[in-house]
Structure 1
Amino acid sequence: MAKKTKGNKVLVTLKCSECGTRNYYRFKNRQKKYKLDSSKYCPKCRKHTEHKESK
């Protein structure tokens, strides 16, 4: 799933919704049950796209 870190934080991967490449890593609170999503720059698509949390 996600790489564990100390405390309640977990390292998760953000994946581009258009091309599927994994470009970003973020820390997330382990107790939150929602998936992260944000608009980030994808170097493969060369534009800002929606990036969602993946395994």
Structure 2
Amino acid sequence: MSKSKGARIVITLECCCRNLNNITKKKSGIFRYTSTKNRKNTPNRIELMKFCPYCNKHQKFREIK
């Protein structure tokens, strides 16, 4: 018997600063984190404060598809 997927899913978080066209950035590229969330407790998209090595500071990371 196989079990259902459950409520926990793997999500990808992407830095919000990547969407800005700021020339002062030293590095170019996209930095992403992976995490898990409970679908039942948080049905909406997540925003977390994480460290972005491209900006060299803490930024908001948003959940992407």
**Fold match, TM over 0.5?**
yes
Higher RCO structure, 1 or 2 (CA under 8 Å, sep 6+): 2
Paired position in structure 2 for 1:12: 11
Q: Structure 2 regions of 5+ residues with no counterpart?
A: 20-29
SS at match of 2:17: coil
Q: Flag the structure with higher strand content.
A: 1
Question: How far, CA to CA, are the matches of 1:12 and 1:39 in structure 2?
Answer: 15
Task: Count residues in correspondence.
Answer: 50
Q: Flag the structure with higher helix content.
A: 2
Structure 1 or 2, whichever has the larger Rg, is: 2
Which of the numbers 29, 32, 37 marks the counterpart of 2:38? Answer: 29
Paired position in structure 1 for 2:48: 38
Q: Structure 1 regions of 5+ residues with no counterpart?
A: 1-5
Q: CA RMSD for the aligned pairs? A: 1.5
Q: What is the CA-CA distance between 1:15 and the residue it aligns to?
A: 0.5
- The alignment's TM-score, normalised by the length of structure 1, stands at 0.75
